Amino acid sequence: MLSKVAEDYMSLCRTERNIHVLCTGLLLMLGVVLTATAMAAQEEPTPRAEIFTGYQWLDPNGKLPTPFQDPANPTPAKLASMPLGLGASFTYNLSSIFGVEADYGENWDGATLTTVAIGPRFTWRSEGVNLFGHALVGLNRLAPNNLRSDNAVGPILGGGIDVKVWRPLSIRLIEADYLWSQHHYADLTSSAFPELQRPVLKSTRLRAGLVWNIGSLAPAVPPTASCSVQPAEVLVGEPVTATATDDVRLLRIGRDDFYELLSDNMEITAAVFGTLVKRFRKLIGQ
């Protein structure tokens, strides 16, 4: 009896420790937001997509039935933290604030926990620092040693801080997530132990790594150019000097197209003949 009370107390302490870790991370992110908003933010283009790759640590914070035990008297075994892992995500930004994120993570050390999830992501962007939060849902696959694998569906809630190194690359200082999943091992224990028949994992996940920024949401700037012609009015065969800055596109009209243009647009015809008359009079005067 005393051992069970002590075990429950230690489990409660571990849960409170995980909550403290998440709260500390959220307070840290809030401090970054307040600091960033106090700075004079510089407008930077939002990348079209962001790809994260990096290290991942995970504490499952759950218990499973011990294999090869009497189902009527099972022995619970706590899942240890998994320091070996990797994480990756792809975010397609629809605006500077909102994007859709696909996430993958895997940890292993005595057991393997794999997650594949998708959901919305919100980002607050400032000069050199991005703060994001996401709410994902997807598959959680648990594969303990000496037990069969089990799949479950659960949420992933959390966020992190990205620091921009240069435009294509950012560093993810930290990402803190809470993962919830309920698994099924009813065939290994009796109904007198519901917490082992359907064990719940309330996992804490920490990440750090690199973020690759691809493309831009900013519209393409159309090419601009200026052009000047000297003299402004010429006749056929007279020299003319045209000066252009930057790239320009020249419009060439064939003879037949030019005649059709004059026949369909009397104002252009009148302007052309007016120019010709002025040039003719100028030549006569000379």
Q: What distance in Å separates the CA atoms of residue 175 and residue 102, rounded to the nearest whole number? A: 15
Average pLDDT, integer, range 185-195: 88
Average pLDDT, integer, range 98-125: 96
pLDDT of residue 57: 98
36 vs 262, more confident = 262
Residues 89 and 10 in one domain: yes
Residue 273 falls within a domain, yes or no?
A: yes
Query: Which letter does DSSP use for residue 75 in this model?
Result: -
- Under the banding of pLDDT at 50, 70 and 90, the label for residue 211 is very high
Whose tokens are 């009015």? That residue is 233
Reduce the DSSP state of residue 193 to 3 states and report it: coil
Query: Which letter does DSSP use for residue 122 in this model?
Result: E
Percent of the chain with pLDDT over 70: 71
- Assess contact for 151 and 139: CB atoms under 8 A: yes
268 vs 10, more confident = 268
Residues 237 and 182 in one domain: no
Tell which of 169, 192, 214 closes a domain: 214
Residues 236 and 121 in one domain: no
Residue 220 falls within a domain, yes or no?
A: no
Instruction: Give the closest residue to 176 by CA, choosing from 285, 40, 34, 29.
Output: 29
- Assess contact for 45 and 88: CB atoms under 8 A: no
Amino acid at 269: T
Residues 231 and 187 in one domain: no
Q: What distance in Å separates the CA atoms of residue 110 and residue 225, rounded to the nearest whole number? A: 66
Residue 51 falls within a domain, yes or no?
A: yes
Reduce the DSSP state of residue 31 to 3 states and report it: helix
Residues 22 and 146 in one domain: yes
Q: How many CB atoms lie within 10 A of CB 257?
A: 10
Residue 275 falls within a domain, yes or no?
A: yes
Residues 66 and 139 in one domain: yes
pLDDT of residue 271: 79
Residue 192 falls within a domain, yes or no?
A: yes
Residue 170 falls within a domain, yes or no?
A: yes
240 vs 203, more confident = 203
Residues 178 and 264 in one domain: no
Residues 197 and 231 in one domain: no
By mean pLDDT, which of 85-94, 201-210, 256-265 is the weakest?
256-265
pLDDT of residue 208: 98
What is the rounded average pLDDT for all residues in the chain? 82
pLDDT of residue 40: 37
Domains of the chain: total: 2
- Is the pLDDT at 266 greater than 90? The verdict is no
Residue 221 falls within a domain, yes or no?
A: no
Domain limits at 240? Answer: 226-285
Q: How many CB atoms lie within 10 A of CB 131?
A: 19
pLDDT of residue 268: 78
State the Cα torsion 9-14-20-24 to the nearest 10°. 160
Tell which of 189, 214, 239 closes a domain: 214
Residue 62 falls within a domain, yes or no?
A: yes
